[in-house]
Amino acid sequence: MQYTIRNIPKEVNSALRRKAKAEGKSLNQAALDVLRKGLGISQAGGSTPRRDFSFFSMSEEDARVIEQTHAFWDRVEIDEEKWR
């Protein structure tokens, strides 16, 4: 199967070419490797198990909001009589 991909940003082009050169691969093979990895597909066609926790990552803003939420609930006093 062949694809034509247009409007590749300069930084993507540069990074892909550096990767290909560093790994001694063709530009095509480097692009296929990046696509497979990004899609979670192994060379044999099966799913590649994730060995990191990148799916748990969050932005600094997300972390700040979570910290503020915890701080808020730490200050809340619960009336035990109302919850019996």
Taking the C-alpha atoms of residue 78 and residue 39, their distance in angstroms, rounded to an integer, is 47
pLDDT band, residue 66 (cuts 50/70/90): confident
pLDDT in tens, 46-65: 555 556 666 667 777 878 88
pTM over 0.85: no
Three-state secondary structure of 34-73: HHHHHHCECCCCCECCCCCCHHHCCCHHHHHHHHHHHHHH
- Closest Cα partner for 18 from 5, 34, 36, 39? 34
pLDDT digits (tens, 9 = 90+) for 17-49: 999 999 999 999 999 999 988 888 877 655 555
pLDDT of residue 34: 92
